[in-house]
Amino acid sequence: MSEKYFLHNIGKPESKSLAFYLANQGYSAWEKVVRQWQPAEVIEEVKKSGLRGRGGAGFPTGMKWSFVPRDSEKPKYLVCNADESEPGTFKDRYLVEHEPHMLLEGIAIASYAINAHSAYIYIRGEFAHGAQVLEEAIAEAEAKNLLGEKILGSSYDLQVTVHRGAGAYICGEETGLLESLEGKRGWPRLKPPFPAVVGAFKSPTVVNNVETLANLPLIFTRGAEWFAAIGPNPKNTGPKLYCVSGHVNRPGLYEFPMGKNLKELIYEECGGIRGGKKLKAVIPGGSSVPVLRADQIDVSMDYEALAEAGSMLGSAGVIVLDEDACMVNALYNLERFYAHESCGQCTPCREGTTWMVKILKRLEMGGGRPEDLPLLEDIARHINFRTICPLGDAAAMPAASFLKQFRDEFAAHAELGRCPQRR
């Protein structure tokens, strides 16, 4: 796929304007949908496209929409998750700031499919510029009757509201997000019930992330069959944004079909490891997924292939570490983040993340001991899948995988009583 769909307007500051978007067939998919399609037909088309959620879990989007009860007397809501908080991930921010109308068109299509007349964009508090861009884009779309009342002469109404969060990682989890949206502390909810039945304001709700929704105009402009044909794996379809950071020559945001080979992405597209150094490790899907060694990266960046390799696609936030990286220090840095962002609702996460930070600091700074390694593994095991939301898992998986993949390095810290790189 040489054609770019998300990144073709890079370097064009006017790309965020409605006039530019309309001049490039913008909102043509939305106009066709609202005038010619029935909501159930929209859902079936998305199912045929094979679109899977781009927020990390990879759940089929059309199937998720179909869980919303059609006969409910309560209002239905569409919530766009723009709380991009995963370290190493910056794709949604780009779409919000440079392609806001692509996102709004996707929100309109998704809202129509589930018969929602109110949609919320929950955006991370630090993304002040992105929130302003969205507010301006919504005003432009309403002025052209692309949003608002009786859209494009139809009987369909849709109000889109931007809601700024306070910058909590936990609010990237959909039920924590919904709690925050309602004005409460962002503590994740027990499931079931699931948001499709009891979501925002105790009403049926669909939560999709920015990149997922931005794919919808493509599906309804080019067709589900065209979309499903993109990518080498029929279970992983469509274009995909990959974030690459760390020790590469050309870090940045890249677009390829779902299933791009990770080794090719690093060595061909990103120019290899900076300074001509050797690759040591890659975290392929944002900081919360298991790490891969250098000899494991000849793998497709899709859900099934990475799972088979022992990791996850997650947010496709690729973090590259060269031969000089200290893996104990890297894990210490990650776990400090998760300990800080734990909401404190669940004891295993609240206590376990802080405990792991103390042990890792001891190993890195001096005073570590051999029994710290099995202790770290035990703590991670007792956090994993024992919390209400996945933040506990997000902290536990890196700890377990770093210890498994680079145990000798952790053992060297314990035996020397310091980091071997410290003199």
Output the domain CATH number for residue 265.
Answer: 3.10.20.600
Say which CATH number the domain at 358 has: 1.20.1440.230
Q: Tell me what pLDDT residue 158 has.
A: 98
Say which CATH number the domain at 91 has: 3.40.50.11540
Cα–Cα distance for residue pair 321/37, rounded to 1 Å: 48
Q: Tell me what pLDDT residue 55 has.
A: 85
Residues 70 and 185 in one domain: yes
State how many domains the chain has: 3
**284 assigned to some structural domain:** yes
- Domain boundary pick from 293, 322, 351: 322
Residues 133 and 176 in one domain: yes
Which region among 249-253, 322-326, 386-390 has the lowest average model confidence (pLDDT)? Answer: 386-390
- Domain boundary pick from 195, 228, 261: 228
pLDDT at 423 over 80: no
Q: Tell me what pLDDT residue 34 has.
A: 97
Residues 273 and 336 in one domain: no
pLDDT at 222 over 70: yes
Q: Tell me what pLDDT residue 154 has.
A: 96
**301 assigned to some structural domain:** yes
Burial 331-345 (b: 16+ CB within 10 A, else e): bbebbbbbbebbbeb
Give the range of the structural domain holding residue 197, as residue numbers without chain letter. 13-228
Q: Tell me what pLDDT residue 419 has.
A: 82
The answer to whether residues 283 and 267 touch, using CB atoms and an 8 Å cutoff, is no
How many C-beta atoms lie closer than 10 Å to residue 97's C-beta?
17
**5 assigned to some structural domain:** no
**423 assigned to some structural domain:** no
Q: Report the percent of the chain where pLDDT is more than 70.
A: 99
pLDDT at 374 over 60: yes
Instruction: Give the torsion sign (CA, 412, 417, 421, 423).
Output: negative
Q: Nearest CA to 301 among 270, 260, 267?
A: 260
Residues 93 and 172 in one domain: yes
Residues 274 and 366 in one domain: no
Q: Tell me what pLDDT residue 1 has.
A: 53
Residues 219 and 282 in one domain: no
The answer to whether residues 120 and 79 touch, using CB atoms and an 8 Å cutoff, is yes
Higher pLDDT, 57 or 91: 91
Residues 106 and 180 in one domain: yes
Residues 96 and 205 in one domain: yes
Residues 274 and 245 in one domain: yes
User: Average pLDDT, whole number, for the chain?
Assistant: 95
Residues 128 and 199 in one domain: yes
Residues 309 and 378 in one domain: no
Burial class (CB in 10 A: 0-12, 13-18, 19+), 44: middle
- Domain boundary pick from 228, 262, 277: 228
Q: Tell me what pLDDT residue 194 has.
A: 95
Residues 291 and 400 in one domain: no
